[in-house]
Structure 1
């Protein structure tokens, strides 16, 4: 029986971007199923001791840029260290991903999520702009009406529920992959996640 991974992420997270394609490949390789769970890190950080980027110590901010460059080079993924539209709110994109997940399924939601992340970090597009989100939907062959669906109260409720579910699960950053109650935080923990998938539940 396929195992299910809870995938908690913020669509504007560079670390989620760096791990997203590899995570999708892991799903295809292992046959694991996924729950696509965008969260509001603004709700997660205050209860987990995290700080928004601008409030972190200068040393941490500087080292973050070093690590982003290292992983970008190692993985061969294009990444602007300081993209034109960042910091950026990920709320609208997160709700859109949820709407696509609800109407088109997790595979489509994962595809859109990857496009959103690439838009921020590789293409320097503004994912808080409705016009950009409409373009991303079209580029992924998804229905334009998902923009309207994303404004549904049910979608907002799901977004809030995902965030609370993440907090309850002990998640404190993105991306976090949770399998059988065990958290794997960060795109550099995907190897551990795959090994865990190979052990009995």
Structure 2
């Protein structure tokens, strides 16, 4: 029997990116369906979050995400541009956020078609894999094609159905919190949340307890 799970994911979260490829590989190897549930990043939900953090937070996080990428042989580099428009000096988040809103809506449109996990991985490799100008030209179109989706169709849907997509994204966040967590990446399996890119092996262990089999 095919097992099912939900992956709560942010396109601005480096740890979400560091997890999504491994979850995609797991879903391809095992009889498992992981549905992507995109959420807005903290910078949208709590714009003052970064201003309130300890001064060491950013430096440590940067060091940690880079070594996680190296340890798992995952291509990694700072996003160019950052999906969030933010003043680097003051950490203040801009009101207008065209990049993150566009790519998150695209992710939700992909999730409607059951291809969210693939899209998130392909788009994540653009954003966090070092692709300069990932938001320009045909980079996203090519990534969408690699996820077996039609970019023009998704773009048209994002433009025509913004309010419904935004409502679905907000509902994803509510579902995440109802499941017992608030951050990403979090995978929820049979009502049990597993937070962090370092819980993937534990997720696999739990699913094997429930009879997960290779395809």
TM range (shorter): 0.7 to 0.9
TM-score, length-scaled by structure 1: 0.83
The match for 2:154 is: 146
Map Cα deviations across residues 7-52 of structure 1 (whole Å, 9 max, x no partner). Answer: 0000121111111111111122331222210011339965xxx974
| Counterpart Cα distance in 1 of 2:29 and 2:143 | 26
TM-score, length-scaled by structure 2: 0.78
| Distance of aligned partners of 1:140 and 1:29 in 2 relative to their CA distance in 1, 3 Å threshold | closer
| Counterpart Cα distance in 1 of 2:199 and 2:103 | 25
RMSD of equivalent CA atoms: 2.7
Number of corresponding residues: 194
The match for 1:180 is: 190
| Counterpart Cα distance in 1 of 2:204 and 2:41 | 25
Q: Identify which of 52, 57, 64 aligns with 1:60.
A: 57
Q: What is the CA distance between 1:109 and its match in structure 2?
A: 2.2
The match for 1:13 is: 13
Q: Is the 2:5–2:35 Cα contact (8 Å) retained in structure 1?
A: yes
The match for 2:30 is: 30
Structure 1, gaps ≥5 residues long: none
Greater per-residue helix proportion: 1
Q: Identify which of 136, 140, 160 aligns with 2:143.
A: 136
Q: What is the CA distance between 1:139 and its match in structure 2?
A: 5.3
Structure 2, gaps ≥5 residues long: 85-98
**Equivalences for residues 1-201 of structure 1 within 5 A:** 1-42=1-42, 52-80=49-77, 82-86=78-82, 88=84, 89-102=99-112, 105-106=113-114, 108-126=115-133, 133-138=140-145, 140=147, 142-143=149-150, 144-151=152-159, 152=161, 153-200=163-210
